[in-house]
Amino acid sequence: MFIKSKPGKCGIKLWVAADKKNFYACNMQVYTGKSGGVREKKQGLRVVTDTVCHMYGTRRGVTTDNFFTSCELAKFFLSKNMTGWHNKEE
């Protein structure tokens, strides 16, 4: 991935679901960029649902930043007996 505003302009972008108490990465995905030059719709929703699928039904909470937060994601968490939180500090 290329980001011109960063000191290290090229790198690998990972989506990571991690346990904040133990600093343990539970699940990861590598961001591979646009598929066929087309921007993915609802990417944040897909990434979160894919990376926390092992927690469905556990009544755990998931904290995300504003890129991932949506009403659709909140409804999804409720359907899976989970909760979602938006981290306002970032």
Listed by start position, the domains of the chain span: 14-32+39-86
Q: Tell me how far CA of residue 8 lies from CA of 1, 12, 21, 25, in angstroms.
A: 11, 11, 29, 23
Q: Quote the pLDDT of residue 13.
A: 86
Confidence of residue 90 (pLDDT cuts 50, 70, 90): very low
pLDDT digits (tens, 9 = 90+) for 36-81: 878 888 888 898 888 888 888 887 788 888 888 888 988 888 888 8
Note if the pTM is more than 0.85.
no
Tokens of 58: 């556990």
Q: Is the dihedral of CA 54, 56, 22, 30 positive or negative?
A: positive
Question: Does the pLDDT at position 84 exceed 80?
Answer: no
Contacts of 39 by beta carbon, 8 Å cutoff, 6+ apart: none
Count helices and strands (H / E) in the chain: 2, 4
